[in-house]
Amino acid sequence: MPEKILVTAALPYANGPLHLGHLAGAYIPADVYVRYQRLKGSDIVFICGSDEHGVPITIRADKEKITPQEIVDRYHSMMKDSFRRLGIVFDNYSRTSLPLHHKISQGIFLKLYEKGLIREQTINQYFCTTCNRFLPDRYIEGECPYCHRKGARGDQCESCGRWLEPDQLLEARCKICGSMPEKRATTHWYFRLSEFQKPLEEWQASKPQWKSNVREFSAGWFSEGLTDRAITRDIDWGIPVPLEGATGKVLYVWFDAPIGYISSTVEWAQKLNQPERWRDYWCNPETRLIHFIGKDNIVFHAIVWPAVLMAHGEFTLPSEIPANEFLNIEGQKLSTSRNWAVWVDEYLQSFPPDPLRYYLAANAPENKDADFVWKDFQTRNNSELADVLGNLVNRSLAFIEKNFKAKVPPVGELLPEDRALLATIASSTERIGKSLEEFQVRRAAGELMDLARAGNKYFNDSAPWKALKTNPARSATILNTILQLQAALAVLMDPFLPFSAEALWKMLNAPGKHSSQRWYEVPNLRLAEGQPLGTKEILFHKIEDPAVQQEIAKLRKVAISG
């Protein structure tokens, strides 16, 4: 029985387009991992969707004088399109504004409520008499009670990273009109997170293999002591609290967003016409549930969400939370408010998707923050993708076209160097697989490139152009061997470079689809002797200096200095 794996990537928030920080943090590593597991033949489902509730969306809608629905419609379709063009293939990409998600979220809330794990509390909360509204989350700004920085938001201090409740802010002001709010009584519902400290600590102690950023961050929260958290808000955009007397209250976006993983899986099963199939994954203790996230989401995925799952009692808990660090841009912290960011749709106007996928994989912020540098991106494209991988393919196929009528040359007696290359294919396949099992995408990308390097070295050392004059059969054997390497590469490339992998498979005119091959069969792949090859094309184009200079200039021009 193949392993059951449910992979989620953090639901992107539908109040802006995707940028490279999103890709490096969650989506590229998740897609690389999922593509590898699909090639392995695992029983895997890859789930995502747009996170469409919460205050930042209503603030943007207020600003643009349109409805929140119009905001999320716009960014949902933009993000979906960007994912498609990047070759990030989810089994289902849903959205949290769907009635299905509302129903499931309300059901989970009610179940926790009935179990006594949600309690009601009346608190004094900021109310703006000018705007005539309560001021939850980002509707309010003030001084952080911990680090005393000004401009902290009502939900979180960006400076020290603390999760705040709006009434903790000092010197609070209404974000919309700037006036000093007053405090008014309002009723909210609190999730009894404090009761889950012990089970959460025990559960995390059983995960020694987890990344240190997740374990250390959680340990910090545990040592401070978990407190109950308000999971409702006074706004009108979101999922209505399903209780009598809760008119005008919605669920807090961080309560409903992770439930989106479940509702997107339910939607996937419905689309397959097997409406109960989602339970095979979510209600199955054998399932490996893997959440790919950026480090800013650790608290929700490693503490709050597992506590909700424990409280509910019928769902599986996360097995792995491979959280990545941040991606900086040209040496500075990525900032959407300052427009210091590289946007995916803008990138795709100028460059193909694969070089970006490769660069973000090979330079993944796995154990520390990484830096996206345009010059470095150019170098890795030109000196690795074009000069190593592309060149190996190009010169060997050109040689076969010229000297072997563009057909797979016959293989003769294998010499030790031929056997060594074939053995390298086998060991690289195993090594790349092992790295990906351990979520070491960066190392895996390096191992893929090393295999292409080994191919170039073999080609140089065995010099088939010399053998052609003295021993044509030997030359044929060398080219045959190098074609077998390329067939292997076309499959092994798929997690990182899916578009180029498909193009290479076509150029080899190999039967079937590259993505239908099996990972552990890769060392045994053989192109048949005499089989005609497909049409040769350039796999990776070099990126010239002006193109890169233009991107750097664009970034510096639009960035708001600050």
> Which positions touch Zn ion (CB under 5 A)?
128, 130-131, 144, 146-147, 157, 159-160, 174, 176-177
Nearest residue to 77 (alpha-carbon basis) of 18, 159, 152: 18
For Zn ion, give the closer residue by CB, 163 or 326. 163
Nearest residue to 262 (alpha-carbon basis) of 98, 128, 117, 120: 98
Q: How far apart are CB 315 and Zn ion at their closest, in Å?
A: 34
Amino acid at the residue 410: P
Q: How far apart are CB 149 and Zn ion at their closest, in Å?
A: 5
β-bridge pairing 43-50 and 4-9: parallel
Taking residue 308's Cβ as centre, other Cβ atoms within 10 Å add up to: 22
Q: How far apart are CB 178 and Zn ion at their closest, in Å?
A: 7
Q: How far apart are CB 59 and Zn ion at their closest, in Å?
A: 12
Q: Are 486 and 406 in contact (CB under 8 A)?
A: no
For Zn ion, give the closer residue by CB, 104 or 172. 172
For Zn ion, give the closer residue by CB, 143 or 371. 143
Nearest residue to 229 (alpha-carbon basis) of 121, 312, 124: 121
- The DSSP element (H or E) to which 76 belongs, if any, is helix 68-85
The token pair that represents 381 in the structure block: 């494209």
For Zn ion, give the closer residue by CB, 89 or 131. 131
The rounded distance, in Å, linking the Cα atoms of 543 and 556 is: 20
For Zn ion, give the closer residue by CB, 136 or 409. 136
Radius of gyration of the chain (CA): 27
Question: DSSP secondary structure string, 426-485?
Answer: HHHHHHHHHHHHTT-HHHHHHHHHHHHHHHHHHHHHH-HHHHHHH-HHHHHHHHHHHHHH
| In the block, residue with structure tokens 């009502």 | 154
Q: How far apart are CB 1 and Zn ion at their closest, in Å?
A: 49
For Zn ion, give the closer residue by CB, 63 or 402. 63
For Zn ion, give the closer residue by CB, 139 or 359. 139
For Zn ion, give the closer residue by CB, 236 or 286. 236
User: Which residues make Cβ contacts (< 8 Å) with residue 373, sequence separation at least 6?
Assistant: 330, 331
For Zn ion, give the closer residue by CB, 160 or 552. 160
Q: How far apart are CB 339 and Zn ion at their closest, in Å?
A: 24
Q: How far apart are CB 139 and Zn ion at their closest, in Å?
A: 8
Evaluated on CA atoms 137, 143, 144, 149, the torsion sign reads: positive
Helix axes 259-271, 99-114, angle to 10 degrees: 130
Q: How far apart are CB 384 and Zn ion at their closest, in Å?
A: 41
Q: How far apart are CB 326 and Zn ion at their closest, in Å?
A: 18
